[in-house]
Amino acid sequence: MNVTIVDYNSGNISSVINSFKEVAKDKVNIEVTSNLNKIKSSDKVVLPGQGSFKSCIEALNNIDGLTDTLNEFVKTNKKPLLGICVGLQMFADIGYEETETKGLGWISGKVSKIDNQNGGYKLPHIGWNQINIVKDSKIFKNIENKSHMYFVHSYEFIPEDKNVISATTDYSSNIVCSVEKENIFGTQFHPEKSDNMGLKIIDNFMNL
């Protein structure tokens, strides 16, 4: 099986690469590339994202044909894709970080700044926080509810269809921290920085 981690110059993704390789051992071939043919032929794709919504969308669009290839992978061929952090946020129709930016439009919704309750909550939301699993997601197999995951973000994804939400975390409000829609999976937290529970989520994705 081939799993491709999309490298589109969106910041340091070394911890994502290392954790996937650690889980894969020799059973799964992990490729890190923006080569369109390699992405098309892979069984699963991981879309990481660090930095702002705007900078990540621009970085994707800067690689000729990459957005079309990802659309084909997800929407036409219905193969599994995991978005991490801004990788999840880009599923939205629109994001409001820096400036209004069009997203990939895979899951209807928007990405807005977390309401910090007039400074009552620090932004970015950094560190370990409990997740509340609200639906039986394939990537949460053998993950206990209220497990702690590692977060770094100031913006949240607000999907129109609440049925896609698989987990939330409590930080100023119930923030969406995981989604599942058919073959599309996303986590706002960083599984690659979330210790053994995070590695289990990566393993679950690779075993889909």
CA distance 6 to 138: 22
Q: Are 147 and 117 in contact (CB under 8 A)?
A: no
Output the DSSP codes for 135-182. Answer: S--GGGTTPPTT-EEEEEESEEEEES-GGGEEEEEEESEEEEEEEEET
User: Is residue 98 flagged as an active site residue?
Assistant: no
User: Is residue 190 flagged as an active site residue?
Assistant: yes
Active-site pick, 85, 97, 156, 180: 85
User: Is residue 125 flagged as an active site residue?
Assistant: no
Torsion sign over Cα 147, 184, 203, 11: negative
CA distance 109 to 21: 32
Catalytic positions are 85, 190, 192
